[in-house]
Amino acid sequence: MKKHILIILLAIFPATSFAAGVGVHLDAAPIDINDKDSIKRGAKNFVDYCFSCHSAKFMRFNRIAKDTGMDEDELREMMIFTRDKKGEATKTGDLMTVAMTDEYAKSAFGTAVPDLTLTARARGADWLYTYLRTFYVDENRPTGMNNLAFPDVAMPNVLMNLQGVNKAVYADDGHGGNKIEGLEKIQPGSMTTEEFDAFTADLVNFMVYLAEPVQAERRSMGWKVLLFLAIFFVFAYLLKKEYWKDVH
Ligand code: HEC
């Protein structure tokens, strides 16, 4: 019986159950899946900064263009440096694969680079938003960087030029050890904190779109169905009263 309740709870609160597994405080991602301009900017950020290593191989370029209202020129400009598995320039209808092989990634980073199409679903938007903003200096790591949301991550901090460099601030954990209390900027990047947060929010918004491209449509459809049922209920009730009026 207990098991059944647990399964039902997990089904109802999938996002919460994931978040609970992470020991770090997650910042709420300020995203809006109906904001197509934000998704469009995020797609550009993704191609510029992530797509050299990470694929999004279940998505096609031209679908993003269609869903965000990007015209042909904007799409070509976004894709201009992208290459497919054979190293050839990609076409607008291609899937978003990358030229990097798992063997190369393993020799460079010690691990394969995961595909990011569905990551927003597995990790949640808040986790992504926190992860991308919480790299900090750690001399003991091969990349010189560690991460609050993903301890000992193998990914280099690719957004460092934009964000700047952060170091960890430690506090006594009350058991004779140290715990990280927060991060402090020790070197500025090309963006202010607000600009960088907005850049990251667009990127996360795009990744949430990637993981479920029809989400915005599905939600608005849900409200329409509920509205229909509400109106239909009135008529059904009146009809029921009419049918039963001689019986009561
Ligand atoms: C230089 C190559 C490289 C670039 C560029 C890069 N990453 Fe990564 N990324 C990695 C590697 C390698 C891992 C695997 C880390 C591990 O398992 O420790 C990773 C892991 C991740 C993960 C964790 C996935 C998971 O669920 O375990 C996310 C999320 C991610 N990257 C997002 C991004 C985003 C967003 C960008 C663009 C801003 C980006 N990465 C750019 C190499 C890269």
Nearest atom in ligand 1 to the alpha carbon of residue 128 is: 29
Contact yes or no for 29/126 (Cβ under 8 A): yes
Which is more confidently placed, 118 or 90?
118
Q: Which two tokens stand for residue 160?
A: 């460092």
58 by Cβ neighbours in 10 Å (0-12 / 13-18 / 19+) ranks as middle
Nearest atom in ligand 1 to the alpha carbon of residue 153 is: 18
Q: pLDDT tens digits, residue range 190-208? A: 999 999 999 999 999 999 9
Name the residue at shortest CA distance from atom 36 of ligand 1: 50
Cα of 204 from ligand 1 centre, angstroms = 13
Mean pLDDT of the chain: 90
d(CA 78, CA 56): 15
Q: Is 114 in the pocket of ligand 1 (CB under 6 A)?
A: yes
CA angle 48, 52, 53 (to 5 degrees): 130
Q: pLDDT tens digits, residue range 151-176? A: 999 999 999 999 999 999 998 878 87
**Range among 61-75, 77-91, 164-178 with highest mean pLDDT value:** 61-75
pLDDT value at position 36? Answer: 96
Q: Does residue 20 surpass a pLDDT of 60?
A: no
CA angle 173, 179, 181 (to 5 degrees): 105
Contact yes or no for 105/118 (Cβ under 8 A): no
Contact yes or no for 150/114 (Cβ under 8 A): no
Q: Is 145 in the pocket of ligand 1 (CB under 6 A)?
A: no
Name the residue at shortest CA distance from atom 3 of ligand 1: 53
Contact yes or no for 158/52 (Cβ under 8 A): no
pLDDT value at position 13? Answer: 65
Nearest atom in ligand 1 to the alpha carbon of residue 112 is: 12
d(CA 195, CA 224): 36
pLDDT value at position 86? Answer: 77
d(CA 110, CA 240): 68
Which is more confidently placed, 89 or 60?
60
